Amino acid sequence: MPIPDNRYDRIQAAWQGRISGCMLGKAVELFSMREGPQALNDYLHATNALPLRDYIPYNQELASKHIDKNCCAGYLTHSSPDDDINYTTLALLMLEKFGKDLTTTDVARSWMKFLPVASTYTAERAAYKTLLSNAHEWFPEGKDPGFDLTMCANNAYSDWIGAQIRADLYGWVCPGNPDLAVKLVTADAQLSHHGDGVYGAVLVAALGALIPEFCSTDSTSDKPLEQALDQALTYLPEDSECARAAHFARQLTADPNGSELIRERYKDLSVVHTVNNLALVIWALLRHQDDFSAAIGDVVSAGLDTDCNGATVGALWALQGKSIPEQWIGPWRGRVGLSLAGYGQIDLDELVSRTIAVAKVMDLKQ
């Protein structure tokens, strides 16, 4: 499929949606993880922020020490560095260099060149430690790794959410070409993840590639997001937990208490597991197809991995080609904080233009 005529607007909106959703969730990420969804909802209720439809208010008398004040309403002046946005930017850097030929070896080298160890967590940090312990001294400069890179994914967190949060941009730059998006995201994900840890990433990337096609002006679909999800699910084993989670979430889209049912179903999983968070993403995205604020607001107030889910829902929603309210974009002023080597802050406009350039190359090489 040729890149949509409004490709600039969609990719710009995807970046805006991802960053805005991430900042909304980042304010309460540690709060939700360490004190739980009930404490999060108690705070939101006490500050008159439910239903959540704007950045989270900061009340010094009520706020937990785990709330990030700098991401709250009235205090947010730029997008704070966050691993979710780091990985999206790193995917851009890798595709600029390697294009559609990106391999897992390229990803491993790029981590060592650009990604600080302290900006990684769980599966990524475990994979990084394996790289540092086993790779040839000159591997980052082009030598063979000197060991089997699949060892990096043999870690205790290989089905947690890390690969899923690295997935988005591979879909953005491959509109209408989910095969390529899935190939690219798999090369990235399998460095650190196995099984459902990879499948969550695959579903997000495939959805990102399919939504512009089903939500285009040429589409005759009356349920474009549902149809995009149907096709994206064909890239997953039917018996995978990620596929089951997506089907379960889809059944709950009319239920305002869907997030509670999802948390209950997956109560034994880590709050940063792929499966439970993917279910929340699908539920919020399908439930609020015409309301950006409600989509990211409900997925963040649901708890679990709030910044990751806000970012993923925000980007996928924006790929429909619908407008994001200014209240979300204005506060961070197009200034995107990063913690990648050589990148402390970058302008949104530069990210968008460079992503468009990669998307054009991807389209030419199909």
The tens digit of pLDDT for each residue in 201-235 reads 999 999 999 999 999 877 777 899 999 999 999 99
* Residue that has been written with the tokens 């197809």 in this structure: 289
Tokens of 332: 């961070």
Q: Residue 5 above 70 pLDDT?
A: no
**Helix pair 178-189, 195-214: axis angle to 10 deg:** 150
| Residue pair 262/276 in contact by the 8 Å Cβ criterion | yes
What is the tens place of the pLDDT at every residue in 154-198? 999 999 999 999 999 999 999 999 999 999 999 999 999 999 999
Pair type for strands 335-340 and 343-347: antiparallel
Q: How distant is the alpha carbon of residue 176 from its chain centre? A: 19
pLDDT value at residue 366: 53
Contacts of 157 (CB under 8 A, 6+ apart): 122, 123, 126, 197
Q: What is the pLDDT of residues 25-82, one digit of tens each?
A: 999 999 999 999 999 999 999 999 999 999 999 999 999 999 999 999 999 999 999 9
Averaged confidence pLDDT in the chain: 96
Question: Which band of pLDDT confidence, cut at 50, 70 and 90, is reported for residue 14?
Answer: very high
**Both tokens of residue 310?**
């806000």
15 Cα distance to chain centroid = 11
Residue 252 has pLDDT above 70, yes or no: yes
| Structure-token pair, residue 282 | 């699908």
Q: For residues 313-320, give the mean pLDDT.
A: 98
Fold designation for 7-25+75-323+334-364: ADP-ribosylglycohydrolase fold (1.10.4080)
pLDDT score, position 4? 57
- Under 8 Å between Cβ of 262 and 279: yes
Model confidence band, residue 7 (pLDDT cutoffs 50, 70, 90) = confident
Structure tokens at 364: 């030419």
Structure confidence at residue 19 as a pLDDT band (50, 70, 90): very high
Q: What is the pLDDT of residue 158?
A: 98
| Tens of pLDDT, residues 132-161 | 999 999 999 999 999 999 999 999 999 999
Structure confidence at residue 221 (pLDDT): 76
On whether the CB atoms of residues 144 and 136 are closer than 8 A, the answer is yes
Quick: pLDDT tens for 267-285. Answer: 999 999 999 999 999 999 9
Q: Which of 252, 328, 267, 329 is nearest to 303 (CA)?
A: 267
Q: Is the CB of residue 105 less than 8 Å from the CB of residue 88?
A: no
When pLDDT is cut at 50, 70 and 90, the band that residue 326 belongs to is very high
Q: Which residues contact 364 (CB under 8 A, 6 or more apart)?
A: none
Q: Are 190 and 174 in contact (CB under 8 A)?
A: no
pLDDT above 70 for 253: yes
List, as one string, the DSSP characters of 246-290: HHHHHHTTT-TTHHHHHHHHTTTS-TTBHHHHHHHHHHHHHHTTT
Angle between helices 241-251 and 274-287 (to 10 degrees): 30
pLDDT at 365: 52
Taking the C-alpha atoms of residue 339 and residue 187, their distance in angstroms, rounded to an integer, is 23
The reported pLDDT for the residue numbered 42 is: 98
Task: Enumerate the domain spans of the chain.
Answer: 7-25+75-323+334-364
Q: Give the span between the Cα atoms of 97 and 244, in whole angstroms.
A: 36
